[in-house]
Amino acid sequence: MKIITYNVNGIRSAISKGFLEWLAEEDADVVCLQETKAQPDQIPLFHFLELGYTSYWHSAQKKGYSGVAILSKMEPDRIEYGMGNAVYDNEGRVLRADFGDISLMSLYIPSGSSGDGRQDFKMQFLDDFLDYTLELKKEIPHLIICGDYNICHQPIDIHDPVRNAKSSGFLPEEREWLTRFINSGFTDTFRYMNHAPHQYTWWSFRANARANNKGWRIDYNMVADPLAQRIQSARILSDVVHSDHCPVVLEMKN
């Protein structure tokens, strides 16, 4: 089973930059998208059907903002839109598909970089989301949560940990939350397979950051610990450029 998570920073923009051709070549079983920035009537579903994907979209009420999706070559048993909290669900941040004994989620955690108000919103979301996943795991132990977490976990995950120590996305309280999340029973699949530095999934558009690999690793494929033994490979596709993020791949044994 090949799973990809990818913050596309606008699905229509990504399509204009060759996303569909890349998607056909990559031939993943399931693709989780974040920051789709499109309403249902703006999404060219036929493109995905032509490639063999049934697609499920959870858009934000606000146009051109947020939104998550799941593209799947397998028919899910169930689709769950949102996490049962209208404040978050109106922003299109959580979408889940159940496949047999595995449940796979596309997640887009809020950014707090625009100011204190959104940072407070982000911290509340994190607390509520952890509570939500703890309850969900009681029902579905084999949970995979793919997405843009908007948090670098450790200094190895960011190009300049010293200067960014007070930046949203690398704040001590955010990193501590991610540690609690992982300790609640999840495996960071990329770090499970790869301990090398300078492995990033997002780069600012400013100051030629991507060309100089001055990035942040904020996109993850997290699996519930019982699934860790089924991990075959985990890779960051940093040379794929349809967005300011890049795709992250997880391959698992059936």
12 strand-pairing partners: none
What's the full length of the chain, in residues?
254
The number of angstroms, rounded, from the C-alpha of 155 to the middle of its chain's C-alpha atoms is 20
Note if 148 is an active site residue: yes
Q: How far apart are the first and last CA of the chain?
A: 6
Taking CB atoms within 8 Å and a gap of at least 24, the contacts of 211-216 are 213/159, 213/238, 214/159, 214/160, 215/158, 215/159, 216/152, 216/157, 216/158, 216/159, 216/169, 216/170
Count of C-beta atoms within a 10 Å radius of residue 46: 8
Q: Which of 29, 148, 188, 219 is catalytic?
A: 148
The kind and range of the H/E element at 69 are strand 68-72
Block residue for tokens 């519930």: 224
Contact 247, 34 (CB under 8 A): no
Which residues are the active-site residues?
148
